[in-house]
Copies of this chain bind each other. A is one copy, B any other.
Amino acid sequence: MKTYTVALDVMGSDKGPMTVLGGAKAALEKHADLKLLLVGEQATVEQGVRALSIPEDRIEILPASQVITNYDSPATALFEKKDSSLVLALSAASAREDIVGVVNAGSTGALIAGSLRYLSRPDRVRPALAVTFPAEAGGYVCLVDAGATVDCTASTLLHFARLGTEFVKDMYCIERPKVGLLSNGAEETKGNALTKETHALLKEATDINFIGNVEGNNALSGVCDVLVCDGFAGNQVLKVTEGTMKRILTDIVKIAKTQGKQEYLPLVGELMRAYGVDTLGGGIILGAKKPIVKAHGAADESAIVTALGMVLNLAKNKA
């Protein structure tokens, strides 16, 4: 059986290394062709592997003496913490052909900066953070960029459209993913200077299945498979969606409590599952030589399993 090795940064998660290792074990059980390079503080990783009875023939341990946390500046952390699990995971993926991708649950900023430094492609394109949402109409919408590159030119956005197309093709086996451009109106004439220029480029690009402008209220409806925007606007789509969902769910709980309507409570769990609040497992950095998946910082073991499954899936569909 052909196997695929993924580099997993064991440190850096808000939930601690044991949660990450728990996810590692579950992923190994789920995918027989998965192998892991566990990168982290040696004693912690070794003890965790023993405590959880992770099969030692399917892992390697790469010792790292430092950890990059969300308190470190992404810009300087890479240089100041060269022996960190994040840096070592990325450089292992760069140096070793058999490693198909990287999973990390720590600092998104450092991961994006590191993707440029250790896994940048020959064309040195700006990276994009792609986040996938369950679409209202079923299926998924992939938001590119959700916050990696906040100042974009039209040609950067054109490139993001290509990266998103490629990702959705490989990940969901959709032959010609529909690409929408986030704008402030559906008509071609609507938009700011950047989106108007990008609209023209996307229309001419024969390799992109461009369906036109998409407004914010349709962002996650499923009219497109890939929604292209700069990282600033994408970050708003991501966080406003999260904030609104959280607010409504909180309000349902409040109403249930103040009005004594316990019957509303099961709804909260159901909606959380439907929107994948817990299971989405973060985003993927596109524009690097190999897929780098950021598992949600506050995520549990299942988010690690999802993230590892994503890298594995991409590697197998590419192969």
Residues of A whose CB lies within 8 Å of any CB of B are: 136, 147, 150-151, 182-184, 191-193, 195, 215-221, 230-233, 235-248, 250-252, 255, 261, 263-264, 267, 270-271, 274
Task: Known A-B contacts: A150-B184, A192-B230, A267-B267. Give 9 more (CB < 8 A).
Answer: A216-B236, A216-B238, A217-B242, A218-B243, A219-B239, A240-B240, A241-B244, A255-B267, A255-B270
Known: A136-B247, A150-B191, A264-B264. A184 touches B217 (CB 8 A): no
A109 CB to nearest B CB, Å: 9
Instruction: Count copies of this chain in the complex.
Output: 2
Residues in chain B near residue A239, CB distance under 8 A: 184, 215-217, 219
Q: What are 28 pairs between A and B in contact, CB < 8 Å?
A: A136-B247, A150-B191, A151-B193, A183-B232, A184-B232, A192-B230, A216-B235, A216-B242, A217-B240, A217-B243, A217-B246, A219-B236, A219-B239, A219-B240, A219-B243, A220-B243, A221-B243, A233-B236, A236-B240, A240-B240, A244-B244, A244-B245, A244-B248, A248-B248, A251-B271, A261-B263, A263-B263, A264-B264
Residues in chain B near residue A233, CB distance under 8 A: 232-233, 236
A248 and B251 CA atoms in complex are apart in Å by 12
